[in-house]
């Protein structure tokens, strides 16, 4: 099968979905000749600026607070920069995040404002193309002078130092010396100048990759939450008045209206669940739902908030997600180095584009939205298993309540997962911790914020799987005529209690793959 290519060009926008496709090895990255030409122009301009005697941070000066001192020899200073940044701590970052960070770095270099020699960028791109992935410690970046330590571990591999992640036959990863891996692949260690080294580490690429991947997953997990909500409302024969289009149009929030449309779309395809074309307008979907789907007479006029207000909650999450995506892609397509080289003006721009403050605010907001989606799903589970709310079905959806415990363990798991989500939903964007001998006197912690947002997607997926299991069990007990979604049609209803840990885990793995774009060609 032909693998699609994502091409990086100076003025071509890189989407979050493009980065995810390469990160998850569903596409290959191609760097255009125009991109390398832009790098060459930038490098030539930097050379001319240095020759005329201008001060250039990291080239004629030391790094960080050492800017007041003169630089050493370019090659020695490059080695020194990467060496001291070879710190860090913790388990390696996920391979897809490392690949995503490399994509983001190459996108920045393609703008032609980094001053890097094109050959250094080509070596960097060759590592990605050949599947050589650095073992990058997950702790070490403050997202202030960019993601210095994580990015430096990729550069160390270029120079034949550090470690790489080698994929074993059982799909686990083993850490191997980078020099050994380069030798096996026919690569020679690359010697970096100070400017080349700085251009490869002084940016926001890891934070941006984490956020972009979180955005891609989150968009699809919210759709799963809407589908499960619709499925639940259908099998429980809930009141549908909270989905009236006039209600949502009166509020005016784009995300809320889109979420109501999504839920109605899933509901309206009662004969083949979720198959109603998305272009059908809101009013038409509402009419179909009113005509086709029964409501239980014993249901209250107004459903509890976790049912009635689902479009308002999920719609708000959609709006947060949209803004997070906008910020992620602005970051991916912008110049995040320091200093920048303006080739046309022959000017060096010293500043702080390496700050991840935008990423931090966006990731914190996305984290908060995902946690609220988790709250919604957990409360919907309670509505399914509690006879006071579920229309009189057995307590905990046990076939024989008392003799069996039904979905008790599943609900406990979901509640524990939600507790994890809440404990990881702290905001980083304003939690500055000064460092670097006072040079970095305020830091945004965008790396931490984006990493947490990405990790929250895994916890949320597991909660949604727990809810889906409960809806499927409810449907079986209710003898519902509504078919389960295609991805839950293999569920075997509980007639006796059974351990569901493995089922929760493999279904969560599947959902995360689907959310990442790895199943059924979803983009």
Beta strands in 369-489 (DSSP E): none
* 404: helix, strand or coil: strand
pLDDT by residue (tens digit) across 77-111? Answer: 888 999 999 999 999 999 999 999 999 999 999 99
Distances from the Cα of 231 to the Cαs of 269, 468, 470, in angstroms?
10, 9, 11
Kindly state the average pLDDT of the residues 490-505. 97
How does residue 75 score in pLDDT terms, banded at 50, 70 and 90? Answer: confident
pLDDT by residue (tens digit) across 244-288? Answer: 999 999 999 999 999 999 999 999 874 444 455 556 789 999 999
Closest by Cα among 107, 91, 88 to 99: 107
- Report the C-alpha gap between 112 and 343 in whole angstroms: 8
- Report the C-alpha gap between 124 and 99 in whole angstroms: 11
What are the φ and ψ backbone dihedral angles of 134, each rounded to 5 degrees?
Answer: -70, 145
- Which tokens go with 390? 């579920």
Kindly state the average pLDDT of the residues 472-492. 95
- Report the C-alpha gap between 155 and 516 in whole angstroms: 27
Pick the catalytic residue from 36, 57, 190, 474.
Answer: 57
Nearest-10 Cα torsion for 214, 215, 220, 221: 50
396 vs 440, residue with greater confidence: 396
How does residue 1 score in pLDDT terms, banded at 50, 70 and 90? Answer: low
How does residue 67 score in pLDDT terms, banded at 50, 70 and 90? Answer: confident
The answer to whether 213 and 20 have CB atoms below 8 angstroms apart is yes
The answer to whether 63 and 198 have CB atoms below 8 angstroms apart is yes
- Report the C-alpha gap between 143 and 284 in whole angstroms: 48
Kindly state the average pLDDT of the residues 113-142. 97
pLDDT by residue (tens digit) across 405-432? Answer: 999 999 999 999 999 999 999 999 999 9
CATH of 212-338+357-516, one of 1.20.200.10, 1.10.760.10, 2.40.110.10, 1.20.210.10: 1.20.200.10
Closest by Cα among 218, 204, 216 to 366: 218
Is residue 69 part of the annotated active site? The answer reads no
The 10 Å CB-count burial string (b at 16+, else e) for 477-488 is: bbebebbbbebb
How does residue 232 score in pLDDT terms, banded at 50, 70 and 90? Answer: very high
Is the pLDDT at 170 greater than 90? The verdict is: no
Kindly state the average pLDDT of the residues 348-355. 97
DSSP string covering 207-252, please?
HHHHHHHHHHHHHHHHHHHHHHHHHHHHHHT---GGG-HHHHHHH-
| Maximum distance among all Cα pairs of the chain, rounded to whole angstroms | 86
Pairing status of strand 28-31 against strand 5-8? parallel
Task: Please name the helix (run of DSSP H) or strand (run of DSSP E) that holds residue 450, with its range, or none.
Answer: helix 446-477
**What percent of the chain clears pLDDT 90, i.e. is strictly above it?**
89
- CA 335 to chain CA centroid, nearest Å: 21
- Report the C-alpha gap between 318 and 323 in whole angstroms: 9
The topology (CATH level 3) of 5-203 is: Fumarase C; Chain B, domain 1 (1.10.275)
Ranking 26-30, 47-51, 67-71, 186-190 by mean pLDDT, the lowest is: 67-71
Q: Domain limits of the chain?
A: 5-203, 212-338+357-516
How does residue 348 score in pLDDT terms, banded at 50, 70 and 90? Answer: very high
Can you give the length of the chain in residues? 523
170 vs 276, residue with greater confidence: 170
Q: What is the mean pLDDT of the chain?
A: 94
């Amino acid at each position: 099968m032909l693998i699609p290519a994502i091409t990086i060009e100076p003025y071509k926008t890189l989407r979050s979905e493009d980065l995810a496709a390469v990160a998850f090895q569903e596409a290959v990255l191609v760097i255009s000749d125009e991109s390398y030409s832009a790098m060459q122009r930038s490098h030539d301009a930097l050379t001319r600026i240095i020759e005329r005697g201008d001060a250039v941070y990291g080239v004629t000066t030391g790094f960080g607070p050492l800017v007041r001192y003169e630089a050493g020899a370019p090659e020695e200073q490059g080695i020194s920069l990467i060496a001291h940044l070879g710190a860090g701590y913790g388990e390696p970052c996920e391979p897809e995040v490392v690949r995503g960070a490399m994509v983001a770095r190459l996108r920045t270099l393609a703008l032609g404002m980094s001053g890097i020699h094109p050959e250094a960028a080509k070596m960097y791109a060759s590592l990605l193309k050949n599947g050589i992935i650095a073992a990058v410690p997950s702790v070490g970046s403050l997202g202030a002078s960019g993601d210095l330590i994580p990015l430096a571990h990729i550069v160390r591999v270029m120079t034949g130092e550090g470690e790489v992640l080698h994929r074993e036959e059982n799909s686990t990863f083993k850490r191997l010396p980078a020099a050994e891996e380069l030798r096996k692949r026919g690569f020679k260690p690359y010697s970096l100048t100070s400017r080349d080294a700085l251009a490869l580490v002084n940016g926001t690429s890891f934070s941006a990759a984490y956020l972009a991947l979180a955005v891609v997953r989150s968009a699809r997990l919210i759709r799963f939450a809407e589908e499960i909500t619709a499925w639940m409302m259908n099998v429980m024969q809930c009141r549908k008045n909270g989905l009236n289009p006039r209600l949502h149009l009166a509020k005016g929030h784009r995300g809320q209206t889109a979420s109501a449309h999504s839920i109605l779309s899933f509901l309206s395809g009662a004969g083949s669940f979720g198959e109603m074309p998305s272009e059908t307008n809101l009013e038409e979907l509402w009419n179909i739902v009113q005509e086709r789907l029964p409501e239980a007479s014993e249901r209250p006029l107004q459903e509890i908030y976790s049912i009635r207000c689902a479009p308002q909650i999920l719609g708000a999450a959609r709006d947060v997600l949209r803004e997070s995506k906008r910020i992620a892609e602005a970051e991916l397509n912008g110049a995040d180095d320091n200093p920048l080289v303006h080739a046309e003006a022959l000017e060096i721009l010293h500043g702080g584009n390496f700050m991840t403050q935008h990423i931090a605010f966006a990731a914190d907001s996305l984290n908060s939205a995902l946690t609220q989606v988790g709250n919604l799903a957990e409360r919907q589970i309670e509505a399914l298993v509690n006879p006071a709310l579920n229309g009189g079905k057995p307590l905990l959806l046990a076939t024989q309540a008392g003799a069996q415990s039904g979905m008790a363990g599943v609900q406990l798991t979901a509640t524990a997962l939600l507790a994890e989500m809440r404990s990881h939903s702290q905001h980083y964007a304003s939690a500055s911790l000064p460092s670097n001998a006072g040079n970095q006197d305020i830091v945004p912690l965008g790396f931490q914020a984006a990493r947490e947002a990405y990790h929250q997607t895994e916890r949320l997926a597991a909660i949604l799987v727990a809810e889906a299991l409960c809806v499927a069990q409810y449907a079986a007990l209710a003898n519902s005529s509504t078919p389960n979604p295609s991805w839950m049609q293999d569920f075997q209803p509980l007639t006796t209690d059974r351990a569901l840990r493995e089922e929760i885990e493999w279904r969560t793995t599947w959902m995360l793959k689907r959310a990442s774009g790895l199943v059924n060609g979803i983009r």
